[in-house]
Amino acid sequence: MAPHAYFQAVAGTCYDYYLAIQLYTIAQYLTPAIIINYLSCGIISMYNKKIAAMFNEIADMIEIEDDTRIFEVRAYRKAAMTIDTLQEDVEEILDKGGTKGLMELPGIGEGLAKKIEEFIKTGRMRKYDDMKKKFPMDLDKLTLIQGLGAKKAFRLYNELGVKTIDDLKKAIEAHKVRRLEGFGEKSEAELGKGIGLYQAGISRMLLGTALPEAETIIRKIRGSGLADRVELAGSSRRMKETVGDLDILVTSSKPESIMDFVTGLSEVESVTLKGPTKTTVRLKIGLSCDIRVVERKSFGAGMQYFIGNKDHNVKVRQIAIRKGYKLNEYGLFGKNGKIIAAEDEREIYDKLGMQYPEPEMRENRGEIELSLEHKLPTLIQLGDIKGDLHVHTNNSDGANTLEEMVAQAEALGYSYIGITDHSKSEYVARGMDEARFERYSDQIDRFKDKYEGRVKVLKSAETDILKDGSLDFSNKSLDSMDYVLGSIHTNLNMGREEMTKRIIRCMEGGYLDIWAHPTDRLINARQPIQVDLDRVFEAAKDNGVVMEVDAFPDRLDLNDENITRARKHDLKFSIDTDAHRGDHMLFMRYGIGTAKRGWLTKNEVINTMRYEELMKYFK
């Protein structure tokens, strides 16, 4: 099949009309495998997450035992990262290619491949089980708590018998933790806060995990031939960074058969509630999913209702009432009960005198008012992106070579890619010192000279913004970069005033072009740095510093609200994936979703520019 015909076939099953259109526009550059990847972004079995967690725990345990075995620790962590974010099922790779197939994955050698095989075949991993005898605490969960590393977790176990998060909570409540050497009252309170953050987080799943699962389910329902239309609604349709549950809307003349089909899916763990119009299932990935069947003639009204959010809906309903209408999930009705609009969502907004708001905007943050005035901004779309300006290679902590990352950019139809490996302060991530930077720089220059593909390669580095606001490379090195991407990785706990000054000083230094993952939060795991963003945004404006929207699923930083705030200062943005492997570049869609939630338009985003324009911009 020609790529185009193939694409059309796949786009036909694509849940998102806009994504389909965007994909269509770049389809000529895409291979079928990449399209499938884009649409599915991982139909991932339970094994991937489980094995990744076990490898991480092994790394933790080695670290506790002997912190000189840094290479071993690094190897396990890298393997965990590979498997955790893998867009394929490890079980399938093993089925198809055996341990050899596994060994083609970055960072997976023979020993690790055998361990993966052992676990998939027997449900056990001896190395893990053996080590676990010495360290029987819930390391994978405990280390997710902010401020708690593996070694501290071990001390809490050793000295207080803490094995689980619940145990830790009790120990904190009994003020036992503060009495331990090196802990104190302040760190006890911090741990308490960390637990709160963790527990608030576990009930909401990352969009990056939930959305691919939703897409798999939708594809299966479509493939069943039982449904007429199947669409995603709820928070995941609005591209909210975390979701409470999935909401899928179906029209069908056979509602009972649809519900039987859904409850029988391999993704389903248990059935919470089953009826012909609404069924709720618990999915194995640890998320609930609501499936609603509506009549075809009410489909648009159903979409309008179930996309939400609730506050948006309440206001739209008030507008209907003011016009003498009634709006519910079945339709928009006139006084006499006559249907005014129901099947088509756009028509409902239209009949209310409103401009159609894209789902990402529907949060009652002013979009209703603008929509009534027909003044909604035209939001940026995935197809507007011409390159990715934050990408790692195996020169630091990335898994792929420079060539491989450039090939991926080319496959995505990009015009350029910016290579941004880490600087020396990030020694855990194998950051570069000056000498290594020289070699890296030469390597990129040589590559640029001989490379004849369509993608332009830009030279940069993710340069640490140090404690005093200086950058982690000499001015000479910084001068040799096409642009400077900078971020904070250390001293994250600084006080607000000191942190604000640190960043402003860096911006005033005149070298920083893009401030990467500005607030450094990790969703459900680490709170943002304390900083006066308005003052920093002002300094960014004065010094021409671009704000990043980091698209990595657990970052999404700046987030929607901070984007809105930065826009008030008239700043520019760069939407990047922070890819540590080729297929991470597919995370771009989460960055776009976040950008749309912050109302960003194409003109505000620098990596929508053509290469020549962008180079001029950086000068």
Q: Which residues bind Ca ion (CB under 5 A)?
A: 234-235, 245, 247, 290
> 287-314: string of b/e by CB count within 10 Å (b at 16+)?
bbbbbbbbbeebbbbbbbbbbbeeebbe
Residue 462-491 contact track with Zn ion, rule CB under 5 A, x = bound: x-----------------------------
Instruction: Note the residue count of the chain.
Output: 619
**Closest residue (Cβ) to ligand DGT?**
308
Q: Which does 520 bind (CB under 5 to 8 A by kind): ligand DGT, Zn ion, Ca ion, none?
A: none
Short-list 441, 253, 245, 239, CA closest to 358: 239
Quote the CA–CA distance of 142 and 162 in Å, as a whole number. 10
The least distance separating Zn ion from the CB of residue 393, rounded to whole angstroms, comes to: 11
Cβ at position 611, least distance to ligand DGT in Å: 39
Query: Toward Ca ion, which CB reaches closer, 230 or 461?
Result: 230
306 binds ligand DGT (CB under 6 A): yes
Please give the structure tokens belonging to residue 108: 């997976």
Kindly tell me which residue out of 13, 257, 280, 309 binds ligand DGT, with binding defined by CB under 6 A.
Answer: 309
Of residues 138 and 578, the one with the C-beta less far from Zn ion: 578
462 binds, among Ca ion, Zn ion, ligand DGT, none (CB under 5 to 8 A by kind): Zn ion
CB of 206 to Zn ion, least distance (A): 18
Distance of CA 140 to the CA centre of its chain: 20
Among 46, 314, 321, 428, binds ligand DGT (CB under 6 A): 314
Residue 304: name its binding partner from Zn ion, Ca ion, ligand DGT, none (Cβ under 5 to 8 Å by kind).
Answer: none
Q: What is the sign, positive or negative, of the torsion defined by CA atoms of 517, 519, 522, 523?
A: negative
- Whichever of 245 and 426 has its CB closer to Ca ion, that residue is 245
Q: Which of 310, 454, 476, 616 binds ligand DGT (CB under 6 A)?
A: 310
- Report the 10 Å Cβ neighbour count for 195: 19
**Does the footprint of ligand DGT cover residue 57 (CB under 6 A)?**
no
> In the complex, what is the shortest distance from the CB of residue 576 to Zn ion, in angstroms, rounded to a whole number?
8
Strands 485-487 and 573-576: unpaired
Query: Any contact of residue 550 with Zn ion (CB under 5 A)?
Result: no
Nearer to ligand DGT, 327 or 529 (CB): 327
* Partner whose footprint covers residue 578, from Zn ion, ligand DGT, Ca ion, none (CB < 5 to 8 Å by kind): Zn ion
**Contacts within 8 Å (CB) and 24+ apart, 195-200:** 195/145, 195/165, 195/168, 195/169, 197/145, 197/146, 197/524, 197/525, 197/527, 198/141, 198/144, 198/145, 198/146, 198/165, 198/524, 198/525, 199/165, 200/524
> Nearest residue to Ca ion, using CB?
234
State the nearest-atom distance from the C-beta of 234 to Ca ion, in Å. Answer: 3
Query: Where in 246-305 is the site for ligand DGT (CB under 6 A)?
Result: 247, 305
DSSP line for 11-26: HTT-S-HHHHHHHHHH
Q: Give the shortest CB-516-to-Zn ion separation in angstroms.
A: 6
What is the C-alpha separation between 451 and 445, in angstroms, rounded? Answer: 10
b/e code 43-52 from CB counts within 10 Å (16+ = b): bbbebbbbbb
Q: Does 574 bind ligand DGT (CB under 6 A)?
A: no
Q: Are 496 and 531 in contact (CB under 8 A)?
A: yes
Phi, psi of 422 (to 5 degrees): -75, 160
**Contact yes or no for 460/419 (Cβ under 8 A):** yes
> 282 has which bridge partners?
270, 288
Q: In the complex with Ca ion, which residue's Cβ is closer, 290 or 295?
A: 290
Nearer to ligand DGT, 363 or 464 (CB): 363
Q: Least distance to ligand DGT from the beta carbon of 403, Å?
A: 40
Work out how close the CB of 567 gets to Zn ion at its nearest, in angstroms, rounded to a whole number. Answer: 24
308 binds, among ligand DGT, Ca ion, Zn ion, none (CB under 5 to 8 A by kind): ligand DGT
By CB under 5 A, the residues from 564 to 583 that bind Zn ion are 578
Three-class DSSP labels, 37-54: HHHHCCCCCHHHHHHHHH
Q: Does 331 bind ligand DGT (CB under 6 A)?
A: no
DSSP per-residue letters across 571-617: --EEEE--BSSGGGGGGHHHHHHHHHHTT-BGGGBGGGS-HHHHHHH
What does the per-residue mask of binding to ligand DGT show for 222-251, with x meaning CB under 6 A? ------------xx----x--xxx-x----
Is the CB of 243 or the CB of 471 nearer to Ca ion? 243
Question: Which CB sits closer to ligand DGT, 8 or 364?
Answer: 364
241 binds Zn ion (CB under 5 A): no
How many residues touch ligand DGT under the rule CB under 6 A: the total is: 14
Shortest Å distance, C-beta 109 to Zn ion:
25
H-run or E-run covering 87: none
Residue 25: how many other CB atoms lie within 10 Å: 14
310 contact, one of ligand DGT, Ca ion, Zn ion, none, CB 5-8 Å limit per kind: ligand DGT
**For residue 247, what are the β-bridge partners?**
233, 290
Q: Of Zn ion, ligand DGT, Ca ion, none, which one sits near residue 604, judging by CB under 5 to 8 A according to partner kind?
A: none
CB of 306 to Ca ion, least distance (A): 8
Q: Alpha helices of 522-587 — where are they, by DSSP H?
A: 533-543, 560-568
52: phi then psi, degrees, rounded to nearest 5: -60, -45
Choose the one of Zn ion, ligand DGT, Ca ion, none that binds residue 48, judging by a C-beta under 5 to 8 angstroms depending on kind: none
Please choose which of ligand DGT, Ca ion, Zn ion, none residue 521 contacts, taking the beta carbon within 5 to 8 angstroms, the exact cut-off set by kind: none
Given its phi and psi angles, is residue 175 left (phi above 0), alpha (psi -120 to 50 degrees) or beta? left
- CB nearer ligand DGT, residue 303 or residue 536: 303
Q: Kindly tell me which residue out of 279, 313, 524, 562 binds ligand DGT, with binding defined by CB under 6 A.
A: 313
Residues between 446 and 465 that touch Zn ion (CB under 5 A):
462
Beta bridge partners of 464: 487
Q: With CB under 5 A as the rule, give the number of residues binding Zn ion.
A: 2
Binding partner of residue 306 among ligand DGT, Zn ion, Ca ion, none, CB cut-off 5 to 8 Å per kind:
ligand DGT
Please state the φ and ψ torsions of residue 32, each to the nearest 5 degrees: -50, -40
Burial 350-375 (b: 16+ CB within 10 A, else e): ebbebeebbbbbbbbbebbebbeeee
Name which of 16 and 245 has its Cβ closer to Ca ion.
245
Nearest approach, Cβ of 360 to ligand DGT (angstroms)?
Answer: 12
Residues contributing to the site for Zn ion (CB under 5 A): 462, 578
Residues contributing to the site for ligand DGT (CB under 6 A): 234-235, 240, 243-245, 247, 305-306, 308-310, 313-314
